[in-house]
Amino acid sequence: QVQLVESGGGSVQAGGSLRLSCAASGYTYSTYYMYYMAWFRQAPGKEREGVAIIYAYGGNTYYADSVKGRFTISRDNAQSTLYLQMNSLKPEDTAMYYCAAHRFRPTRWSNHEEYNYWGQGTQVTVSS
């Protein structure tokens, strides 16, 4: 059973930066680099939305339009860790951020229903 644990959330002022981490463990018949890893976020009263995905083997990356140019997703396969560098943060980035994993390439990467494994989330709050 795959376990994901996020960290790095906090409170910052608009224009600031945060770096989220997601440590993965529990891989049994596969290895971390074989998983498609993504970040999602959910603000109160809103649906969970895809922020970014990085393909298995450290390949392609894709971003939501709202974060392009400000956020960067990366992974360290040796450390089984996923990252999200968030720069130029805006109040509308305030949300609970979750990492998610899927063994196979999602049909639509931003569809949260396609992911098998989820972390517990880390809160990001951006004040104006």
Q: What is the pLDDT along the chain (128 residues), one digit of tens a residue?
A: 899 999 999 999 999 999 999 999 987 667 888 899 999 999 999 999 999 999 998 779 999 999 999 999 999 998 999 999 999 999 999 999 999 999 999 999 999 999 999 999 999 999 99
Q: What is the pLDDT of residue 33?
A: 87
- Cα(37)–Cα(25) distance, integer angstroms: 13
pLDDT of residue 28: 67
| CA angle, 77 then 84 then 80, to 5° | 20
What pLDDT is stored for residue 12 in this prediction?
A: 98
Spatial contact of 86 and 17, defined as CB atoms under 8 Å apart = yes
Write down the pLDDT at residue 1. Answer: 83
Contact between residue 9 and residue 124 where contact means Cβ atoms under 8 Å apart: yes
